[in-house]
Amino acid sequence: MLRKNKKLLLAFITLVLSVPMLSQEINQSYYDTNLPLEERVEILVSQMTLEEKISQMGSASKAIPRLNVPDYHWWSEALHGVARNGEATIFPQAIGMGATFDPALIQKMADAISTEARAKFTIAQEMGNHSKYAGLTFWSPTVNLFRDPRYGRGQECYGEDPLLMSQIGVAFVKGLQGEDPKILKTAACAKHFIMHSGPEHGKLEFDVQAPKQDLYETYFPAFEALVKDAKVEGVMTAYNMVYGKPSCTSEFLVKETLREEWGFDGYVTSDCGAIAGAAGKQGYADTPMDAAALALKAGVDLNCGGTYQKSLKDAVANGMVSEELVHERVSQLFKTRFRLGLFDNDKNHPYNNISPDEIHSQAHIDLAREVAQKSIVLLKNKDNTLPLSPKIKIPYITGPFANSNDVLMGSYYGVSTGLVSVMEGVAGAVSKGTSLNYRTGALPFQTNPNPKNWGPMVAKEADVTICVVGTTRYLEGESVDAIASTWHGDKEFLTLPENQINYVKQIIEKKGDKPLVLVIASGGPVSLEGIEEHCDAILQMWYPGEQGGNAVADILFGKVSPSGKLPITFPKNVAQLPPYDQYSMQGRTYKYMTKEPMYPFGYGLTYSKTTFSDLIIEASKLKKGKDLNIQLEVSNAGDFDMGDVVQLYINPVNSSGGIPLKSLKAFERVSLKKGEKQTINFTVKADDLKVVNKEGERVWHKGEYKVVLGNASPGELSKRLGASFAKESTIILR
């Protein structure tokens, strides 16, 4: 009995000695905002036991009452508005943000999102709601390149061009994180690092072996820009493997590239369940403990999931990782929480005093409408079919999504009391004396079982038919949400569902010589082969957010001129595309595609006419290290006030060696009154004139280049469709 009691006493003494500060007074100077951030973090984390440190390394971080550390859930979403967390303004889906080509507007929109987030967080804290989606660490934006139009989650991206992706992404992050020098408004997170662009099926196990040239030319730039230019606070690793290693265990990606080369000083999180997956479907690690140790060494601070919390204590005990490394990773996590002001004594900083009235305010609703207006792309306007007169006598609105709110929302959406369908928007735009008629006409994804369908017949009685077709998040998106998809959320084909095509053809047959306006809701390109030539006007509205119906009506009836541009090429069909699971960029996107698409990148019509003149290039021959300076005049030569996007492309005459056929180097959105002119100046930095060679090195590539300025990507198709261009010039890099 005595021997047993001695063992118990020794065990108790060992436990007490292993728990720092338990018998001492807690040092609470980590609340002192006058101390440097790193010192405050060290004071707090150094007082934690190993078990307490590990408890902070999962997405659901536990409370440590003795240190006044509350529980905190890291997983929140704000892709296009605060998501999955009650009422909030729903802005257009990310692909629509890309279509605006307007970083300043997107930063303003993201600032509105973070304003609502802070107001909601304050209320949630007061009521003790610390649940998932109620925090300030938002796992947005997605800056994976929309490399293939079959990718169902492409709607979450800003487009297919690295420069556009970078500029919109940087603006979004700056809007979310705010401009206070000491406190983050919210913490943005760039995801998914890296090369997470489909297929959705198999993402948990497939291995990407992209050429180094494509890695540095195409896949890295947006992430690098968000780290260096926007100081994004978080980065999420991808599910897939890269060069034989799971992304979350890749020292090349996280430690060498993100931390050392780019100087990232935020937190790194795994995607949800990815660390466990490294020892599961990927089979890279022998056990979850091995996977946890590999991820920790690579530089992953936070595990979305429970593998760290279940395995890291044993990993330390077995000498696989050190407690010092655990301490380092936990300290990084608390840097973020301190930067958010969550451990400040002063609770009166401006972000804590945002009024609840800011949530879904009229100003934010109006902003959602403006972003939607500027995202809508006019693809076709035969004989100036649009705009329609609000006093049109007999308009007919039809289609499976004419009165649908689902097509407004896209994926990762919030909840709003102000959703406006296209039908409602049109009803509010036309004269009260107009005989507006509405019929659904076709089911979204299946053939009408009742063959007696009066929908097409109404078209021949109308002055115009507005038909709203497309897809929703049920057909394209994350595999777990795309419940109508037979291809795991991706798209095997780019066409509309067959029953929608049949319905449009029935309208075409019945409408006679009356115009047909097709409005398309989708998160990516839709092939219109067989019906495009029979439509008089076509609008691409994406997933336009809660004010989508009003924004579409604003375009249809001429309240504003359309000004959105395609952030991704619209191919004619999938036969024009390389194999979906191939990550080489050859043959993909406007930069490498040699086949003529249906609609080119950067394209979009207005109701007016843009002209370019007085192009001045400062130097036609540039030595290594010299910037390129360009000036030109853009004019509104039409009859409507308008917005447009001036785009600058530089195309090598000799594109051997795998370099892009053409590249967007700068763009600027302009607003011009009828008859107004504006001088535009572009400076392309010398580093941005370099190309990436096959070894992944950015080099000065001597030779002749064409400089093209216009309101679409260069090519004969753009010209045939009505795009405007300045006179092309040539420069030589020496």
- Summarize pLDDT for 116-132 with one digit per residue, the tens: 999 999 999 999 999 99
pLDDT at 9 over 50: no
User: Between the CA of residue 336 and those of 49, 72, 79, 235, 402, what are the distances in Å?
Assistant: 20, 12, 20, 12, 44
Q: For residues 255 and 251, what is the distance between their CA atoms, to the nearest angstrom? A: 5
**Can you tell me whether residue 73 is helix, strand or coil?**
strand
Output the pLDDT for position 16.
38
Q: Which two tokens stand for residue 533?
A: 């030539």
At 349 the pLDDT is: 85
Distances (CA, A) of 601 to 302, 598, 715: 38, 10, 10
**Edge-to-edge strand ranges of the sheet holding 241-242:** 207-208, 241-242, 245-246
3-class state of residue 142 by DSSP: strand
- Residue 23 clears pLDDT 70, i.e. is over it: no
DSSP-based three-state secondary structure for 717: helix
Query: Which of 169-178, 319-328, 357-366, 475-484 has the weakest average pLDDT?
Result: 475-484
DSSP string spanning 270-287? PPTTHHHHHTTTS--SSS
For residues 190-208, average pLDDT = 94
Instruction: Say what the pLDDT of residue 348 is.
Output: 78
Kindly tell me if the per-residue pLDDT of 686 is higher than 50. yes
Domain 610-733, CATH among 2.60.40.10, 2.40.10.340, 3.20.20.70, 3.30.2290.10: 2.60.40.10
Q: How many Å separate Cα 10 from the centre of its chain?
A: 57
pLDDT band per the 50, 70, 90 thresholds, residue 383: very high
How does pLDDT run across 230-256, given as a tens digit for each residue?
999 999 999 999 999 999 999 999 999
Closest alpha carbon to 613 in 593, 636, 595, 590: 636
Cβ contacts of 280 within 8 Å, gap of 6 or more: 204
H-run or E-run covering 125: helix 103-126
Mean pLDDT across the chain: 95
24 vs 225, higher pLDDT = 225
Residue ranges of domains in the chain? 188-339, 369-592, 610-733
Q: What is the Cβ-side half-sphere exposure of residue 60, based on CA atoms within 13 angstroms?
A: 9
- Percent of the chain at pLDDT exceeding 70: 97
The answer, yes or no, to whether residue 95 has pLDDT greater than 80, is yes
The CATH-assigned architecture of domain 369-592 is 3-Layer(aba) Sandwich (3.40)
Secondary element (H or E) of residue 80: none
User: Which pLDDT band holds residue 205 (cuts at 50, 70, 90)?
Assistant: confident
CATH class held by domain 188-339: alpha beta
Verdict on whether the full-model pTM lies above 0.85? yes
Residue 204, pLDDT score:
87
pLDDT higher than threshold 60 for residue 444: yes
Catalytic hit among 271, 490, 536, 554: 271
Bridge partner residues of 436 (DSSP) = none
pLDDT tens digits, 406-427: 999 999 999 999 999 999 999 9
pLDDT tens across 103-118, in order? Answer: 999 999 999 999 999 9
Is residue 286 annotated as a catalytic residue, yes or no? Answer: no
d(CA 637, CA 340): 49
